[in-house]
Amino acid sequence: MTRVDVSDDSLFGRDNLPYGVFSTPGSEPRVGVRLGDSVVDLALVLNDDVFARPSLNPFMAQGRARWAQVREELGVRLEGDLPDDAVHAISEVRLHLPFDVADYVDFYASEHHASNLGRLFRPDAEPLMPNWKHLPVGYHGRAGTVVVSGTDVVRPCGQRKAPDETAPTFGPSRRLDIEAELGFVVGAGSGFGQRVPTADFDEHVFGAVLVNDWSARDIQAWEYVPLGPFLGKSFATSISPWVVPLDALQQARVQTPRQDPQPLPYLQEAKPWGLDIDLTVEWNGDVVSQPPYREMYWSPAQMLAHQTVNGASVRTGDFYASGTISGPEKEQRGAFIELTWGGREPVMVAGEERTFVADGDEISISATAPGSSGGRIGFGEVRTRILPAQQEPL
Ligand SMILES: O=C(O)/C=C/C(=O)CC(=O)CC(=O)O
Ligand SMILES: [Ca+2]
Ligand SMILES: [Mg+2]
């Protein structure tokens, strides 16, 4: 038998307990929980086959009462001795995409980011569109290209047309960018034709992960009018492997910034779901930005209420991201197009000048939040390396 020791300053203490899907050499992927530097095999510890699956979806579909019961049971079980074969060192497991992604939606909930992108994409117009403070703007993305941290991403090719060019050309993106975001995973679905009020957010949403919403800014700028982002963002969306349950984020809950004008009643919330989470963006090992989630204008409860207000249902595995997290300061910007102001103000990264992401570059986004035992809890990281474009002639 083994007892898992966890240091007091661990970001994966007993107040966190994020869920993921892992495998060990020669074994099938299955659900585990992270404790300190160990991964605990839940099917073995809880003797429940719902965890002997390569995805969190069957467990998430069981709903909030069961999520709470399992978390409580784990609190007790993880204090005691565990079977040796149920405990693995984090360095010895492979982590997989933690859930089967159903639909994927991306919001645009940072006022700082939306204002910056407005200035960069539409310099002759008001930075914020007139709708922006009345509803959380979003678009439907591509669920099948959500990939887990550690998956290399190939630089996308597509049509690009700079403002000073008369016609588009085809080729590798020259303005490959990141977007540091938080993503919310729906566990329990809603009914067809039924709204999810803001107050029911935690009945449906299971937990949160880190997101890097890769964006080819040159492809995007040419294609997006009038229907919005398409191929410039659909080639890859990277997520962190650990789903931090909402129950672990209770200490992180804060009011969103003041919303003026007051939103319509269906978007008002009685209990705050702003989140005090600190992100860190590393570019080839150098910290280039620290976006603060607490600055986000719209809360994830408002995003869920909005995406269902027309009667559209959500289902287990639906995934929606917050949109790029940017704070008011330059070093809090969650996308490089903002950080380098459209490529006009390069930054130094590991001794080299950068504007957008170069082939071979590695980007890591990590985050921490206050935990319930006085310390901090971690989200782990989403780390990606960019590979050169496929250059075969078409
Ligand atoms: O303002 C635009 O036209 C484009 C905005 C974005 O690219 C941002 C986006 O994908 C949503 C977000 O991450 O905030
Ligand atoms: Ca985005
Ligand atoms: Mg801790």
**Pocket of ligand 1, candidates 110, 179, 212: which has the most ligand atoms within 8 Å of its Cβ, to mutate?**
179
- 293 annotated ligand binder: no
On whether the CB atoms of residues 48 and 86 are closer than 8 A, the answer is: no
Q: What is the pLDDT of residue 57?
A: 99
Q: Is residue 324 in contact with ligand 1, taking CB distance under 6 Å? A: yes
Q: Is 127 exposed, middle or buried (0-12, 13-18, 19+ CB in 10 A)?
A: middle
- Token pair in block for residue 363: 């980007």
Q: Catalytic residue at 112?
A: no
SS3 for the chain is CECCCCCCCCCCCCCCCCEEEEECCCCCCEEEEEECCEEEEHHHHHCCHHHCCCCCHHHHCCCHHHHHHHHHHHHHHCCCCECHHHEEEHHHCEEECCCCCCCEEEECCCHHHHHHHHHHHCCCCCCCCCCCCCCCCEEECCHHHEEECCCCEECCEEEECCCCCCCCEEEECCCEECCEEEEEEECCCCCCCCCCCHHHHHHHEEEEEEEEECEEHHHHHHHCCCCCCCHHHHCCEEECCCEEEHHHHHHHEECCCCCCCCCCHHHCCCCCCEECCEEEEEECCEEEECCEHHHCCCCHHHHHHHHHCCCCCCCCCCEEECCCCCCCCHHHCCCHHHHCCCCCCCEEECCEEECCCCCCCEEEEEEEEECCCCCEEEEEEEEEEEECCCCCCC
HSE-CB of 326 using CA atoms within 13 angstroms = 24
- Token pair in block for residue 252: 């992180």
Q: Are residues 232 and 313 in the same domain?
A: yes
Number of domains composing the chain: 2
Q: What is the pLDDT of residue 393?
A: 58
Rounded CA separation 271/290 (Å): 27
Q: Are residues 338 and 303 in the same domain?
A: yes
Give the residue numbers spanning the domain of 280. Answer: 104-387
Of 212, 147, 211, the C-alpha closest to 184 is: 211
Rounded CA separation 220/208 (Å): 27
- 324 annotated ligand binder: yes
Q: Residue 146: give its domain's CATH number.
A: 3.90.850.10
Q: Are residues 118 and 258 in the same domain?
A: yes
Q: How far is the CA of 216 from the centre of ligand 2 (A)?
A: 11
Amino acid symbol at 128: L
- Token pair in block for residue 138: 């979003």
Q: Are residues 188 and 167 in the same domain?
A: yes
Q: Is residue 213 in contact with ligand 1, taking CB distance under 6 Å? A: yes
Q: What is the pLDDT of residue 353?
A: 98
On whether the CB atoms of residues 170 and 159 are closer than 8 A, the answer is: yes
**Pocket of ligand 1, candidates 132, 324, 336: which has the most ligand atoms within 8 Å of its Cβ, to mutate?**
324
- Token pair in block for residue 253: 């809950």
| Position in ligand 1 atom list of the atom nearest CA 335 | 13
Find the catalytic residue in 113, 140, 204, 306: 113
Rounded CA separation 210/244 (Å): 10
Is the residue at 14 inside a domain? Answer: no
On whether the CB atoms of residues 323 and 220 are closer than 8 A, the answer is: no
Q: Which ligand is nearest to the CA of 337?
A: 1
Q: Are residues 92 and 109 in the same domain?
A: no
On whether the CB atoms of residues 4 and 12 are closer than 8 A, the answer is: no
Q: Residue 85: give its domain's CATH number.
A: 2.30.30.230
Which among 38, 64, 96 is the end of a domain?
Answer: 96
Q: Are residues 90 and 144 in the same domain?
A: no
**Interface predicted TM-score (ipTM) of this complex, two decimals:** 0.93
Which among 96, 115, 130 is the end of a domain?
Answer: 96
Q: What is the dihedral of CA 113, 259, 239, 233, to 10 degrees?
A: -50
Nearest-CA residue for atom 12 of ligand 1:
323
- Could you tell me the pTM of the whole model? 0.97
Q: Is 362 exposed, middle or buried (0-12, 13-18, 19+ CB in 10 A)?
A: middle
Q: Are residues 58 and 141 in the same domain?
A: no
Cα distances from 252 to residues 78, 108, 208, 244, 315, in angstroms, run 23, 21, 12, 12, 26
Q: Are residues 108 and 90 in the same domain?
A: no
- 179 annotated ligand binder: yes
Q: Is residue 172 in contact with ligand 1, taking CB distance under 6 Å? A: no
| Position in ligand 1 atom list of the atom nearest CA 117 | 1
Residues of the chain with pLDDT under 70: 392-394
Q: Are residues 118 and 234 in the same domain?
A: yes
Q: Is residue 323 in contact with ligand 1, taking CB distance under 6 Å? A: yes
Q: Are residues 330 and 347 in the same domain?
A: yes
Q: What is the pLDDT of residue 192?
A: 98
Q: Is residue 229 in contact with ligand 1, taking CB distance under 6 Å? A: yes
Is the residue at 71 inside a domain? Answer: yes
Segment 270-308, tens digit of pLDDT: 999 999 999 999 999 999 999 999 999 999 999 999 999
- 308 annotated ligand binder: no
Q: Is 271 exposed, middle or buried (0-12, 13-18, 19+ CB in 10 A)?
A: exposed
Q: Are residues 230 and 368 in the same domain?
A: yes
Q: Are residues 225 and 361 in the same domain?
A: yes
With tokens 């672990």, the residue in question is 248
Q: What is the pLDDT of residue 391?
A: 76
Q: Is residue 108 in contact with ligand 1, taking CB distance under 6 Å? A: yes
With tokens 């994830």, the residue in question is 300
Which among 65, 96, 127 is the end of a domain?
Answer: 96
- Tell me whether strands 362-370 and 253-254 are parallel, antiparallel or unpaired: unpaired
- For the chain, state the CA radius of gyration: 21
| Position in ligand 1 atom list of the atom nearest CA 114 | 1
Nearest-CA residue for atom 4 of ligand 1:
117
- 108 annotated ligand binder: yes
Q: How far is the CA of 345 from the centre of ligand 2 (A)?
A: 22
Q: How far is the CA of 33 from the centre of ligand 3 (A)?
A: 15
- 355 annotated ligand binder: no
